[in-house]
A and B are shown apart, each in its own frame.
Chain A
Amino acid sequence: MSKDAVNVFKLVKTPIYSHCFNHDNSVLAITTENNVLIFNVSQPSKPQLIATLADHDKTVTAVDISVHGRIVTCSQDRNAIVWEPLSDGSYKPTLVLLRINRAATSAKWAPNGFKFACGSSARIVAVCYYEHENDWWVSKHIKSEIKSSITSLDWHDNGVVLACGGTEGIVNVYSGFIKGLDKKEQVMNSPWGEGKYPFGLLLKQFYQGSWIHGIKFNASLEKLAFVSHDARLTIADAQNNIATVSNPSGLPLNDIVWVSDSKLVGAGFDCHPVEFSYDPNAGAVKFSKNIDKIVQSGVAKNISLDNFDNEDDDQENGQQTFGISALRKFKDMDLKGKVSVVDNELGTTHQNTITQLRVLNNSTVSSSGLDVCFFH
């Protein structure tokens, strides 16, 4: 564990596609295969399993917790489930029929917690809200201009403007205005539209060209940050001012979060988070540092199995060309019983791709990965 990692939870042995904390960071939900596990992490050294949400019958792709503590999960089984916390610590599931014919890929509560949006491979964004009269979650579809799977989406803090990005390389910004639930005041003077926000209206479109992996609004700056498969981070706004920066390692980022107005953290195929700084006045973004990355010596550790052969060779860590070193390796194994072990461990806490980031407070982010560890 490096000095950057504040805490590491090793919770499960399966990939974690998504994780989420509740409003006071005491409850943590993670996805593992077809289930969602709920942990009490108020004592970070001892995470306690509170509940297992096991109603999905395919891989769960996203989990999100609302301000009221309701949990929404969505899955490749094409359904979403809203889990209402009960006083005895268990959760009551309500199935939400998204009416889609492909996997659901991402889910996000609106900031007020009364509706959520769910992206899918069916080229549909489903915006779902609870209808009291029918005791039923209604799903309304946004379809216009979507030609590909939606990989990620995010609500603006006003709860109406909804951005989503897909594999066709286009970021679409829509209105997710639900009559009777949202009020016009929420989008008063918003730069993203022109006064009218009927449901499903396409407000803005940004062409990026490659898969969009992660997308986040910054409401105070009215900026939208997204990361794409060409290893770039793009920050755009309603006036079409666009700033881009590439990840120095050349690997794509999977998710991006705003830690503050001047700081963003992204993470992805690098296995460690990367920090970017943003200058709101100049509108320029640049790479600032790698988090949790230890530069390795890159020298193979040599373990001598038999001690009788102690003549140490100088060329061991040497400059040999690849073919000869391979030949030598087998000769060593055959004649001397010597095995050289290459340390395959990465110098990072995560040993595999990071799938999602969440902001805990203004100095801490949490990340979940395709491997088992989990830190913030």
Chain B
Amino acid sequence: MEDWRRIDIDALDPENGRLTAADLTKPILQTGEPVYSSQDVQGIMGSLRSYASSGDFTSVVKLITAQPVYFADSEQTKDMYVKQVVESLAQCRTMEISKIVSGLTDSECDVLIKFLYKGMSIPEGAKQGTILLAWLDNIIEKNGSNSIIRYLTDRKTV
């Protein structure tokens, strides 16, 4: 046996108890968190659209951060919501961003940054890269790396 160092010994042990993704999203994670149905999400998306069309981006951000959709009936619902959030955020004028961000609390920034990173990872968000980065820039200016490390370590994802 040449390559004995590469044998996966855990696979041979029925009691290995490997940490799985499911272990990290235990029910304890969901305690107290609402599970959104696709109707709920449609409702929020409707208000986001109407705030955005009337140019009230402070309300857009407040709504995004007040009701982060961490748990939904399906992954599609979450994806749909992220796309809408990205679209709404992208409509904001760059000039306004710093004013809106400076009015946010730390925990609101922590939620917003999750949408920004998620947004940048999807094609729809990549097209709006400049404006998403402008949001990110303002958050980092306000909070330093605090929000980033919390985004990286938080298991409640959007």
Contacts and interface: CB of A to CB of B under 8 A. Distances in A.
Given A168-B19, A170-B28, A209-B29, A230 B148 contact: no
B153 A210 contact: yes
Nearest to B153: A210
B95 interface: no
B123 interface: no
Contacts of A210: 153-155
B14 interface: no
A248 B148 CA distance: 13
B23 interface: yes
Contact of A230 (B28, B144, B149): B149
Interface in A244-303: 246-252
Interface string A210-237: 1100000000000000001111100000
A249 B154 CA distance: 18
Interface string B46-89: 00000000000000000000000000000000000000000000
Given A205-B28, A210-B154, A251 B149 contact: yes
B24 interface: yes
Interface string B10-41: 00000001010001101011010000000000
A246 B23 contact: no
B118 interface: no
Contacts of A230: 149-150, 152-154
B156 to A, nearest CB: 7
Interface in A160-215: 168-170, 205, 207, 209-211
B108 interface: no
Interface in B110-158: 143-150, 152-156
Interface residues of B, number: 22
B154 A252 contact: no
Contact of B153 (A170, A207, A209, A248): A209
A249 B149 CA distance: 11
A123 B17 CA distance: 9
A228 B29 CA distance: 16
Given A250-B144, A250-B148, A211 B153 contact: yes
A16 B152 CA distance: 28
A228 B153 contact: yes
B39 to A, nearest CB: 29
Given A205-B28, A209-B154, A210-B153, A147 B146 contact: no
A248 B156 CA distance: 22
Given A123-B17, A246-B146, 16 more contacts: A148-B23, A168-B19, A209-B153, A209-B155, A210-B154, A230-B149, A230-B150, A230-B152, A230-B153, A231-B149, A232-B150, A248-B146, A249-B144, A249-B145, A250-B143, A250-B147
Interface of A: 123, 147-148, 168-170, 205, 207, 209-211, 228-232, 246-252
Interface of B: 17, 19, 23-24, 26, 28-29, 31, 106, 143-150, 152-156
